Structures are given as structure tokens and as C-alpha cells.
Structure 1
Amino acid sequence: MRVNRILLSTALIVVALVLQVSVLARLHLPGAVPDLLLLTVVALALVYGHVGGALIGFGAGLLADLAPPADHAAGRYALVLCVVGYLVGLARPGNGRLKSVTGPMLVVIVAAVGSTLLYALVGALVGDTAARHVGLGGLLFSAALYDLLLAPFVVPAIMALARRAENDPLAESSTTVKGTDISSGWLSSGTGLRLGGRRGGVTRLKAKARTRTTRVTRIKGVKRL
């Protein structure tokens, strides 16, 4: 991932986690807690694709696992958000821009339900039965409802910020450079190859100037003879 992506994703994840822990979790809503962190991962994955979504999801989940008042095994939510980020990134449009709101809303619902089911499944594997006391059906319904109500205010704004960050002059152009990695894309649109081209052009101009000077000298010599 490029530096601008890492910085933007880190800032958004930290802000989302702070708001979720300090504000949303204190509302004591029935059922699940609105997952602002999940919505942030979904929005970034829709712009950056499956690889970036998986990396961002893993980092966001690991941060949530370590941040207080986490009461589950470390790495549990990191696994969940990593899988969600990867799968959501597969639904990313080719140019990173969505033509309608239906697609993102469906993605949010599937991500909310899927993350809750996967979290409960991983919890069952490690012996955490907290979901049984609350009721898995109530968790699924409330998670999908809360995230769906919150998504129109979060997902478009984060996607707009991510797309604006992609307009960095040092960023590679995904439409002109295909089948190459990030480093080669950066070089193809950055200063390296352009400087090389300019140096080559200057060298050619100098060679042409020398050739013209040589021709003029020869012509003057012939006239004197």
C-alpha cells in the first residue's frame, strides 16, 4: 500500500474506533453495537480493492482486539475484519466509483450479518458463548439495522476521502498502468522515467546541434577552397 493510503486508513480507523468505544458503545442500544469500524473497512475496501481491504481489515480488527475494554481473545476480530475486507474488496467496481446506492447498502447488510456470524463462529471455536445469552438472531437483526442506518452518513464520506487521496500526483494511474505492481506504477507516473525521458531528449538536442555545427564548418571550408 502507498504511504497516502496507509496514513488515511490509519487516521480513519483510529477515529472510528474512538467514536465507537467512547460514544456508540455508551448508548446501550438493545442488541448489537453500531459497528463504525466495520463501515470504515467496508468503505475503504470498496475503493482500494480486496488486497487493501484485507490489510486494512486486519489492522483495524487487531487494534479493536487490543483496545480496552476488549473482553475477547486477541486476533478474533482481526480475523473477522480481514475476511470482510477481502470479500468486500472483490465487489469493488473497476474505477472505484459506485453508480447507485443499492450496491453499497447490500454490501453493508451482508457485511454486518456476515461479520456477526463469523465472530460468533470463531467465539464458539475458542469457547466464548456470550452470543448465546444475548441471542444470535437479535444480534444479527440489530447489527444489520444499526449499520444500515449509519452507513449513508459514513460510507460515502469515507469513499470520497479515499478517492481524493488517490489523486496524489505521485500515485500510479490504474487506468494507464495495468498488470504492474505499485512500485512500477509509481515509477511510471512519477519523476523517475520522466526525468530519464527529459535527459534523453536533451542529449538528442545536443547531438543535433553538434551535427549542424559540423555541417556549417564543412560548408565554410569548401567555400574557402
Structure 2
Amino acid sequence: MRLNRILLSTALVVVALVIQVSVLSRLHLPGAVPDLLLLTVLGLAMVYGHVGGALVGFGAGLLADLAPPADHAAGRYALVLCVIGYLAGLIKPETGQVKSATGPMAVVVAAALGSTLLYAGVGALVGDTAARHVGLPGLLISAAVYDLLLAPFVVPGIMALARRSEHDPLSETSAAKQATDISSGWLSSGTGLRIGGQRGTLGGLKTKARSRSTRVGRIKGVKRL
């Protein structure tokens, strides 16, 4: 990942994690907790692609695993967000911009359901059965509803910041200047002018050859006479 991506992703993930731990987790809403960290990963993944999304998801999940109060094994949420970030990056638009909100909202719902199921599945493998006691269907419905309500205020802004960081005015100016220099150099010493110069040179050589042959013919004619 490039430096601007790393800096922006780190800043957004840290801010999202602080809000997640200090505000959202203390609302005591029924069911799941609104997952601001998941929405941040989704917004970055839909601009950076599957590789960037997987890296951002892994880093964000690892920070969430280590941030207090952590009540699960380290690496569990990192695995979940890494997979979600990779899958979300696979549907990245070619231009990095979405034409309607239907696609991102569908991605948010699928990610909320998928991350909850994957988190519960990994917990079952390591012996954590908390999801069974709370009720998995209630967690799925509440997670999808909370994330869907929060997504319009988070995902578009994160995608806009990510797209803006991708377009560096200095790099674009230098690239345009380089293209201009290349084009001007191609025009000044291009193939067409070289061919023309070669044609002119060949024409001069032909003229000289003809004059030489004429002189030789004249000399031969004089000798014959």
C-alpha cells in the first residue's frame, strides 16, 4: 500500500475504534452493537480493492482485538474483518465511484450478516458459545439494522476521503508535464521527421550519384572520341 493510503487508513481506523469503544458500545442497545469499524473497512475496501481491503481489515480487526475491554482471543476479529475487507474489495467499481446507493447498502447488509456469522463460527471453534446464549438470530437482525442506519453517514464520507487521497495534484501535474515533454520530444525527433530527413538525405545522395554518373559518362565519351 502507498504511504497516503496507510496514513489515511490508520487515522480513520483509530478514530472509528475510539468512537466504537467509548460511545457506541456504551449505548446498551438491544442485540448487537453498531459496528463503525466494519463500515470504515467497507468504505476503504470499495476504493482500494481487495488487497487493500484485506490489509486494512486485518489491521483494524487486530486493533479491535487488542483494545480494552477485549473479551475474546486476539486475532479473532482480525480474521473476520480481513475476509470481509477482501470480499468487499472484489466489487470495487472501476472508477472508484458508485452510481447509486443500492450497491453499497447491499454490501453493508451482507457484511453485517457475514461478519456476525463468521465471528460466531470462529468463536464456536475456539469454544466461545456466547452467541448461542444471546441468540444468533437477534444478533443478525440487530447488526444488519444498526449498520444499515449508520452506513449513510459513514461510508460515503470515507469513500470520498479515500478517493481524494488517491488523486495527488502534485503527482498529476508532474505526470502531465512528463507526458508533455515526451510528446514534444516525440514530435521534435520523431519517426516522421527522421524519415523525412532520411528521404532528404537519400534524395541528395541520388542527385550526387546522378551527377557523378553523368561526369563519368562524359569522360568516357571523350575517351571514346
TM-score w.r.t. structure 2 length? 0.77
Counterpart for residue 102 of structure 2:
102
Identity %: 79
Matches within 5 A, 1:179-218: 189=175
1:169 to partner: Cα distance: 3.7
Aligned to 1:134: 134
More helix by share: 2
Distance 1:21 1:127 in 2: 24
TM-superposed deviation, 1:168: 1.2
One-letter amino acid matched to 2:136: L
Q: Cα–Cα, structure 1 residues 75 and 189, in superposed 2: closer, same or farther, change >3 Å?
A: farther
| 4+ runs deviating over 3 angstroms | 169-172, 188-191
- Secondary structure at the aligned position of 1:111 is classed as helix
Aligned to 1:60: 60
Alignment of 1:164-175 (within 5 A): 164-169=164-169
1:138 Cα offset (Å): 0.4
Residues 23-102 of structure 1: pairs in structure 2 closer than 5 A = 23-102=23-102
Residues 120-170 of structure 1, C-alpha deviation per residue, up to 9 Å, x if partnerless? Answer: 000000000111110000000000000000000000010011111111146
Contact 1:81 / 1:115 at 8 angstroms: preserved in 2? yes
Bigger radius of gyration among the two: 2
Q: Report how many residues are paired.
A: 187
1:103 & 1:38 partners in 2: Cα distance?
Answer: 16
CA distance in 2, matches of 1:3, 1:46: 18
Secondary structure in 1 matching 2:30? coil
2-structure distance, mates of 1:55, 1:189: 28
Q: Is the partner of 2:151 in helix, strand or coil?
A: helix
The superposition leaves residues 24-48 of structure 1 with CA deviations (integer Å, 9 ceiling, x where unpaired) of 0000000000000000000000000
| Alignment partners' CA distance in 2, 1:189 and 1:40 | 31
The answer to whether 1:20 aligns with 2:20 is yes
Q: Which runs of 5 or more structure 1 residues have no equivalent in the other structure?
A: 173-187, 205-225
> What is the alpha-carbon distance in structure 2 between the residues aligned to residue 48 and residue 24 of structure 1?
26
Aligned to 1:212: none
| Cα separation, 1, equivalents of 2:49 and 2:143 | 24
Structure 1 Cα separation of the partners of residues 170 and 138 of structure 2: 47
The answer as to whether partners of 1:31 and 1:138 remain within 8 angstroms in 2 is yes
In structure 2, distance between residues paired with 1:7 and 1:57: 15
Residue 84 of structure 2 aligns with an amino acid whose one-letter code is V
Distance 1:140 1:169, change over 3 A: same
- Residue 8 to residue 125, structure 1, CA distance change in 2 (3 Å): same
Cα shift at 1:189: 4.2
